[in-house]
Amino acid sequence: MAVLVLLGSPWAWADDSVSLEVKTQLAGGVKATATVLFPVEPGIIQQLLTDYSHWPDLFDTRMRMAEIREQAGSVFTDIRIRHALLPGERRLLSESRMLSTGGLLTELRGGDFKQYRRVWTLTPTEGGRHTSAEFELLVEIETFVPDWLIAVAMRQELETHFRIVREKALVRATQGR
């Protein structure tokens, strides 16, 4: 019954480096927003986020890259995702491109999703030695699973995702010294 209490309000999670909010949208789908502080320069975060063949390593969800194609400043990916909440494999066709303001935009191009839009905006802090990352994700999946349940899972998965990105960024930063 505790889940019923959470349905009407956004779920939030925070530690010293992450502020995360995940909530269902009235029009359908789930939206997550976060501010993540990384103790490395923005270039390292950008390298991790654009290393498309290794994207599955940044998540705790089973996924594989079926295709990666670069074309005219964009990268088109065909990602196959297996999730415990969803039967079978889900297909996400997306286009990613770098933002002139520093960051990455990924938008839906097809597959088993109704909506998918992810934006990372990276801002240098601490004299360029650290990164403040603004994150926004809107997802709606073609499924019978209710959005509130997707939101609960998304929150947990994003917490893990941000931790993995942070750990890999720290490893890259120390390897570069």
- What is the per-residue pLDDT across 38-79, written as a single tens digit (0 to 9) for each? 999 999 999 999 999 999 999 998 999 999 999 999 999 999
Degrees, nearest 5: CA angle 135-131-123: 70
- pLDDT, tens digit, for every residue of 100-154? 888 899 999 999 999 999 999 999 999 999 999 999 999 999 888 999 999 999 9
Q: Specify the amino acid at residue 169.
A: A
Residue 1 domain-assigned?
Answer: no
Determine the structural domain holding residue 169 and report its residue range. Answer: 11-175
How many structural domains compose the chain?
1
Residue 88 domain-assigned?
Answer: yes
More confident residue, 6 or 146: 146
Residue 113: CA atoms inside 13 Å, Cβ hemisphere, count?
22
Residue 95 domain-assigned?
Answer: yes
Strands annotated E in 15-58: 18-24, 30-38
Give φ, ψ of 127 to 5 degrees.
70, 25
Residue 6 domain-assigned?
Answer: no
Residue 90 domain-assigned?
Answer: yes
Residue 150 domain-assigned?
Answer: yes
Neighbours of 168 (CB within 10 A): 19
**CATH classification at residue 115:** 3.30.530.20
Q: What is the pTM of this model?
A: 0.87
Residue whose tokens read 């996400």:
92
- Give the confidence band of 13 by pLDDT, cuts at 50, 70, 90: very low
